[in-house]
Amino acid sequence: MAKILIGKVALDIRNQLQSKVKTLINEYPDLRPGLAIVQAGDREDSNVYIRMKVKAAEEIGINAQHIRYPKTITQSQLLQEIKNLNDDTSIHGIIVQLPLDTEEKINSDLIVDTISKDKDVDGLTTISAGRLSHGLLEGGFLPCTPNGCMELIKRSGVQLAGATAVVLGRSKIVGTPMAELLKWHHCTVTTCHSKTANLPDVCSKADILVVGIGRPEFVKGSWVKPGACVIDCGINSIPDSTKKSGQRLVGDVDFNEVSKVASVITPVPGGVGPMTVAMLMQNTVIAAAKDIEIATSQTPKDISELASEIGLLTSEVDLYGKKKAKVSLKVLDRLRHQEDGKYVVVAGITPTPLGEGKSTTTIGLAQALGSQLKKNVFACVRQPSQGPTFGIKGGAAGGGYSQVIPMDEFNLHMTGDIHAITAANNLLAAQLDARMFHEGTQTDDALYGRLVPKIKGVREFSPIQINRLKKLGINKTNPDDLTEDEIRRFARLDIDPSTITWQRVLDTNDRFLRKITIGQSDTEKGKTRECQFDISVASEIMAVLALTTSMKDMRERLGKMVVASDNSGQPVTAEDLGVSGALTVLMKDAIRPNLMQTLEGTPVFCHAGPFANIAHGNSSILADKIGLKLVGSDGYVITEAGFGADIGMEKFFNIKCRYSGLSPGAVVLVATIRALKMHGGGPKVTPGAPLPSVYLQENLELVEKGFCNLEKQIKNGLIFGVPVVVAINSFSTDTVNELEKVKSMCTTAGAFDAVVCTHWAEGGKGAVDLGNAVINATKNKSHFKYLYDLEKPIEEKIRIIAREIYGAADVAFSEEAQTRIDRYKNQGFNDLPICMAKTHLSLTSDPNIKGAPTGFQLPIRDVRASIGAGFLYPIVGTMSTMPGLPTRPCFYDIDLNLETEEVEGLF
């Protein structure tokens, strides 16, 4: 019989780690691996182990913090403290030790699962357990005691492959993960417990016997196969009058008996504690090294290098610093004969307040296709508004290992596009009110004289004024030839103030600007009126930017924007106000897509950011078109549609694709188990608050009930003749049964495929299966078709969307809505596509109604027009176009590191 020298093996591992830490610190002087040991309450047995861990950490070069909290700490307080440690970049590993008597008031599983997967050095979170169960032994963290036992078995010289192994005990810390480790090392494994029938007989067949059952000297010599390897994980205290303390420590194995039979055995009292500590230290060093790897990989390559890699000429790229650039529209002309790549839109099920990870999936899929599957690929996403970034939502660059970088530049200012939109929008608003003021305070002759002044004795119409004359049917070019009636018609727009729809904008959430009074200065001579501010991304100019196809097209669209009607009911446009040329000048740079990159160095176009409720909620046509040319016929452009598929995807097909002429090859529909449970009747969730337990535990019934929403969105995609691939964005709380159930239901509902994704945790690697599914889905020719013909009456187009996409029985138009519809028909706007303005949280008009209801009536309160953008937008319920700040906005956490000048807290 040979004893395994646990102390020697553990010391050898610690010495190796000490050497590795010295090497890391020499290469990265600012680095010191950090371990946080969180303890709630005060138990002496816990303190002994903690002292062992702290001492081992100090010897190796790890900065170990023993963080004590009183036993009275609440669950929510402890959760917040762990979240703070997750955000602490000096901490690479976190372990939590709870006293047994806190388990009634603290959910230990929830506490452990709150630890970031990148800091779970104990290897005990659901993510770590799930990885182990799938045989993913690399890239994550293995639980310390079982991993230590495996190291002992390997060093003992015992043959693992083909061996019969028995694990006695099924705890989450030792028994269950030990069995999984042995299985993936090619052993035939049986897991037993104290109630297993014929336990001695089962144990006697084991070549390898691992015991962690917590019962003193439970396993007898007669239970053990001669020559077996026995690993005793137990430490138990039993009475012993010969000891000063009156107690003696023994293992779960009767050492005196078993040592006579086994060929290899851990020494009495079965304490593999030194190996547990060694593996904990090893995981912490791995985490620190991984943190360096991530930080290094997050350093973007120079954008000029990326531009060259994707085939852009130097003359086609204007650099904005080293990490972002504007791309010239001339690329489209140069590559006009290049065949387009495959066009894929990412949409989602009806979202919940927590979000389902649509942006993250878009980026993760692009990374999978590019860095993993070696395809030419572009991701096309919207630029986020600074309002929500500083308000309640935070950044929108994706998340985890699937995001756009540099994320601070992505979320803040970028290349100034939103500022250009703000300036252009407000210039038009200023001209609108100024024109009404001047018309109200001047005679026809005075007004005409100022509009067409004599310069050096000569009057001339500007090109924009010539356009207005043509619109009025006046075929004269000499200002002195106009009659009095023609002068009046030319000079007076005669705007009806009650019909004004154009508002001022600001890219800040400011609830007190939702209704204001302007013109209160004495200089405005009593010309006051009530109006409001919208957020900048709600401006029609943003929608124009997203839907335009060229500089010429943008100039025309800006001119067509209707700001009000005159007193005879005719539309008044930006062209009538003479400002459309100036708007184009302000937007001349904004029209060019912004080039950035993902964490894995694949290209991203971030361009335009229209709201997905009152506008169409998609990034720009120009970005998609340029991307499709650059990737070539074998490449892929992944573009994201805002909110649920009933909103963003429907508008993508019926509005964006109409104006672009592009035909999509597939839909990727993002869903989560968590959201399906909510649609199935699960309790309400609030961002930032702990999740109700139903979302953390397996519940197939809720998942099946909530699948109706996902099924409806799958069918919505199929209506357009496009194959649908479901991306199940997996969380650590999802169970295998839940995921498999959803996959099965998706294919039954008509989805081309359904794939479980882990791109948030693993980047492109976690979306490889999704990438392959998309490749397969786009191999066949698309049968894409629109939902309705543009020539149908406005009411009928609205009714088709409500019935086919939402599941409504019919539509109810208010008197105001019908009046507007009649006006738009008279003004010649009937044949525009429809852009429904509706809550994104439900298929109905009520955000509280989840699932996929049918037979309801959809109320249309109003119908408005974005003529420049090219759509009518019916309003279902109340739509706020200016968000407000919450009690605790995101900016509480945002600051600038004055030493590194890096933005912190922007997530």
110 touches 79 (CB < 8 A): yes
Tokens (6 digits) for 450 = 């100022």
Which tokens belong to 427?
């210039």
Residue 175: phi and psi, rounded to 5, are -60, -55
User: What does the chain come to in residues?
Assistant: 907
DSSP character at residue 687: T
What residues are paired with 165 via a beta bridge? 189, 208
SS (H, E, C) 773-801: HHHHHCCCCCCCCCCCCCCCCHHHHHHHH
Where are any strands of DSSP class E within 100-217? Answer: 164-168, 188-192, 208-211
Six-digit token string for 831: 């044949």
In 599-707, at which residue ranges do the beta strands (DSSP E only) sit? 603-606, 636-640, 666-671
The alpha carbons of the chain give a radius of gyration, in whole angstroms, of: 33
- d(CA 561, CA 428) in angstroms, rounded, equals 10
558 in Cβ contact with 584 (< 8 Å): yes
Q: Tokens representing 717?
A: 């995609």
Burial environment of residue 131 by CB neighbours within 10 A (0 to 12, 13 to 18, 19 or more): buried
Is the bond leading into 388 cis (omega within 30 degrees of zero)? Answer: no
Residue listed under structure tokens 């055995």:
265
Q: Phi and psi dihedrals of 902, rounded to 5?
A: -95, 145
Question: Is-contact 728 756, C-beta < 8 A?
Answer: yes
Residues in Cβ contact with 643 at an 8 Å cutoff, skipping those fewer than 6 apart: 348, 351, 612, 613, 617, 840
The SS3 of residue 411 is: helix
CB 630 within 8 A of CB 378: yes
Q: How far apart are CA 44 and CA 698, in angstroms?
A: 36
SS3 672: coil
214 neighbors 234 (Cβ within 8 angstroms) = yes
**Phi and psi, residue 127, nearest 5°:** -60, -45
* Closest by CA position to 875, among listed 821, 829, 830: 821
Contact call for residues 228 and 263 (beta carbons, < 8 A): yes
Token pair for residue 413?
A: 């200012």
Helix (H, G, I), strand (E, B) or coil at 679: helix
Indicate left, alpha or beta for 525 from its phi (over 0: left) and psi (-120 to 50: alpha).
left
Helices and strands (H and E) in the chain: how many? 32, 37
DSSP codes of every residue in 13-78: HHHHHHHHHHHHHHHSTT---EEEEEEES--HHHHHHHHHHHHHHHHHT-EEEEEEE-TT--HHHH
Nearest one of 877, 869, 907 to 891, comparing CA atoms: 907
Residues marked active site are found at 53
Containing H/E element for 473? Answer: none
Q: Which residue has the tokens 């529909």?
A: 669
Q: Is there a contact between 447 and 493 (Cβ–Cβ < 8 Å)?
A: no
Handedness of CA 422, 425, 429, 434 (dihedral sign): positive
DSSP codes joined into one string, 193-251: -TT-TTHHHHHTT-SEEEE----TT-B-GGGSPTT-EEEE---EEEE-TTSTTSEEEE-
